[in-house]
Chains A and B, each alone.
Chain A
Amino acid sequence: MPLAFDWTQLVQQTVIGLASGGVWASLAVALVLIYRSTGVVNFAQGEMAMFSTFIAWSLVHQGLSYWAAFFLTLAVSFVGGVAVERAVIRPVERAPELTVVIVTLGLFFVVNGAARWIWTPETRSLPNAFSTRPIDVGGVAFSIQDLGTIGVSLAAVALLWLFFRFTKLGLASRASALNPEASRLVGVRVSWMLALGWGLAAAMGAVSGMLAAPALASFDQNLMQPVLLYAFAGAVLGGIDSPLGAVVGTMLLGVLINLLGTYVDWIGSELRLPVALAVILGVLLVRPAGLFGHVAEQRV
């Protein structure tokens, strides 16, 4: 037994946590996108991402390479997201928020059920995008896969940021979210901006799923359910209206959960999640808008 503090273990668990967080980050960004455009948390985001992962699997099964399947799935998911918004969200655009939340809950079951019906519930796997050969740095092991996962998430967020900041469409989208009335007055098709938001979110969700499947070594229809929870928590921690916050939040959450599980013995496996969630709540009580979020002004 080492007498001195095992730094290797600490760094190792931190690295593992960052890699786990990297998987959840893209889904968290998807949640942020929907929240910014529609004002609710889309509880079906994880299932939509899972469905995209199955599409990717089918494409690979047909013979496409991983990356060809990846980009094709992104396109299909984008269209799917737009279609979902047009079909079930648009009709309740003006309804109370909770109505929309219930619709997303219904969507959760619809998408999950559809995925179980179309593809039988066998355990499958998606090929690795990156090499899984372990690289050892001073006793701490990680792989290109871990780096690649974090890298792809960050790249996706960066692309989104560029889109929102530097393109006309992105500007219109941001305007619609901030002030729909004024945007309509200057000619922005606000309704379609919402659909765009859902399309982009679906694509981000697909990224998350296609990273999660190889990172978790296998997948089935339950792939994204735990991920949704962590993504939600991470997004809120980072500030629900900030994509960068979502990425930082989930990575921090990943590290937190791993370190808690490693160093606090009484926690054990059953309590890692509740304790991590309690910590997040603690943060929110101090900073109600999350780390990077903005507190909205309250009009009477």
Chain B
Amino acid sequence: MRRITYLCAGVFGALALATVATGAASETGVTPTQILIGGTTPLSGPASAYQSVAKGAAAYFRYVNARGGVNKRRIKYVYKDDGYDPSKTVDGTRELVQQDKVFAIFNSLGTEHNLATRSYLNALKVPQLFVASGATTFGKEYKQYPWTIGYQPNYHAEGTIYGRYVAKTSPKTRIGVLYQADDYGKDLLGGLRSGLGKKAGLIKSKQSYDVNDPDVKSQVAKLKGAKVNTLMLFATPKFAIQSFVYAKALGWRPKVYVNAVSSAANIMGLATAATGKKHTEGSLSIVFLKDPTDVHWRKDPGTKLYRTIMKRYQGGNPNDVYAVYGMSAAHTFVAALKKAGKNPTRASVMKAATSLNVKNDPFLLPGMSVRTTKRDHFPLDQAKLQRYHAGRWVSFGGLFTVR
């Protein structure tokens, strides 16, 4: 009798201890019903168009919450305005960590912005998840910053794809590059050189522009003057469209490579409308998301899901490919969270985020997977080449994997 009493007491005691222990060990930002994550995004100022990255993700989280959340917890995603100013990013991030006590920083936008907070977050061991920037450093410097991980295929890798393709298919061409004079443009240029390898000498002219320049007319004129016949546009949409138009105005029709940031179907549509089909025909780019303005995906279940979520959960303008990006990042976060188990900690989520193998992301191209390992902090490193033909992008070839 006594033994049974002792046994019951023991079991009871152990259970009680276990409950207390798990309760006490509850991670910052995690409660039994909610997990709080946060990030920064430009809600005001000239870059506010990029906020759709946050809004798309927010809509996806609302969708997941409506279906019960993850392990009975709803995901609360808070994003603060930084006006695209890195010092406000620092302020907002510190507020999220110190005041709001978020579990992790997620989907903050901007290269300099995430660089500004990286040391702080890593020192405090707060996960800096799925940085919305294509800068290579976020995936490359994982040894020094193990709590940081990027998301999209990085710019250097993209440039490398172009370089390799040109070296293979047009080894005698004269290349000219129009690039934005900041890390984004320079990263792409660096990748191009890398991909060209020994043929880097094919680059005959490099013209840079500053975001505050009103137009790139003189740069395009100089590129034409250097007798370039392959033009790399490492520029944002406004300047990419201008390049097509000014090339036409100068009576020049080079073969054009458009970087992914400016390749959305509606941007290409504007360029085609302004110059005529001939001038955009044959342009090349890479793609990794399902562009909602691309007719090809109209009946695709993934895109339909995207549109449904955007409509029902106030995601904003559904024709914005940045929102698709945000949704894909959110989808991956949910996968990492699920993998981290019933009682996620910052460490366990980070471990899950660096051992991903997600194959069912409905917003990425078919066949693409989100893969990371402890040494590979580049979740998306695949893309397909696509060619612009008769007013539409048509992808060809297989999936490139580039590190």
Task: List A residues at the B interface (Cβ < 8 Å).
Answer: 6, 9, 12-13, 16-17, 19-20, 23, 116, 120-125, 128, 132, 134, 136, 141-143, 145, 215-218, 220, 222, 225-227, 230, 258, 261-262, 268-270, 272-273
Contact = CB atoms under 8 A, between A and B. Distances in A.
Given A116-B48, A122-B317, A122-B320, A269 B214 contact: no
B208 interface: yes
B218 A13 contact: yes
B335 interface: no
Q: Which of B207, B215, B242, B319 has the most CB of A within 10 A?
A: B215
A227 B320 contact: no
B261 to A, nearest CB: 12
Given A20-B215, A132-B274, A143-B249, A123 B266 contact: yes
A270 B251 contact: no
Contacts of A261: 218
Given A23-B214, A121-B49, 20 more contacts: A13-B218, A16-B218, A20-B215, A120-B317, A121-B48, A125-B241, A132-B248, A132-B275, A141-B249, A142-B249, A215-B215, A217-B242, A217-B245, A217-B271, A220-B49, A226-B212, A268-B208, A269-B209, A270-B181, A270-B210
Given A123-B266, A227-B214, A272-B213, A217 B241 contact: yes
Contact-size category for B = 35 or more
Q: Which of B181, B218, B241 has the most CB of A within 10 A?
A: B218
Interface in B48-68: 48-49
Contacts of B270: 123-125, 217-218
Contacts, number: 104
Contact of A258 (B46, B218, B241): B218
Contact of A9 (B208, B225, B275): B225
Contacts of A142: 249
A17 to B, nearest CB: 8
B208 A216 contact: no
B174 to A, nearest CB: 14
A126 B357 CA distance: 45
7 contacts: A20-B217, A122-B317, A123-B267, A217-B244, A218-B241, A225-B46, A269-B219
A270 B242 CA distance: 19
Interface in B313-347: 317, 319-320
A12 B221 contact: yes
Contact of B214 (A13, A20, A122, A262): A20
A134 B249 contact: yes
B305 interface: no
For the complex of A and B, the 4 pairs showing the least CB-CB separation, nearest first, are A121-B49, A217-B245, A226-B214, A134-B251
B237 interface: yes
B150 to A, nearest CB: 25
Nearest to B217: A16
Contacts of A216: 214-215, 238, 242
Interface in B214-245: 214-215, 217-219, 221-222, 225, 237-238, 241-242, 244-245
Nearest to A227: B214
Contacts of B181: 268-270
A141 B247 CA distance: 10
B222 A262 contact: yes
A17 B89 CA distance: 38
